Amino acid sequence: MTPEDTELITEFHKVSQLMPGVAFDFIMGTLTPDREHEFGQILISLGELLVHHADERLQPEAPPTTVSPTDG
């Protein structure tokens, strides 16, 4: 597991912890502006991490480079 994978899992965990309360509070009209802002920032952060993670997975791995004894 890469550090990026660990960061994604951490962010997913934050969302799963906040989501039930945020959804309920939003529906009931009791979601405070501070909590709404915090939740929005978590979603933005998670979105950026997911995009970066997907981009990394799309890039082909570079073939190993070898140095020939006659090159140097």
Domain span at 40: 3-55
- SS3 annotation, 8-66: HHHHHHHHHHHHHHHHHHHHHCCCCHHHHHHHHHHHHHHHHHHHHHHHHHHCCCCCCCC
Q: Place 1 in a pLDDT band, splitting at 50, 70 and 90.
A: confident
Count of domains forming the chain: 1
Give whole-number Cα distances, 9 to 2, 12, 21, 53, in Å: 11, 5, 20, 12
Question: Is residue 22 in a domain?
Answer: yes
Return the pLDDT at 44: 93
Question: Is residue 28 in a domain?
Answer: yes
Return the pLDDT at 14: 83
Question: Is residue 44 in a domain?
Answer: yes
Please work out, in degrees rounded to the nearest 5, the angle formed at the alpha carbon of residue 52 by the alpha carbons of 50 and 55: 110
Question: Is residue 24 in a domain?
Answer: yes
Question: Is residue 39 in a domain?
Answer: yes
State the pTM of this model: 0.63
Return the pLDDT at 68: 61
15-71 pLDDT per residue, tens: 878 778 888 898 899 999 998 998 899 889 889 988 998 998 898 776 666 666 665
Question: Is residue 27 in a domain?
Answer: yes
Question: Is residue 69 in a domain?
Answer: no
63 touches 25 (CB < 8 A): no
Question: Is residue 62 in a domain?
Answer: no
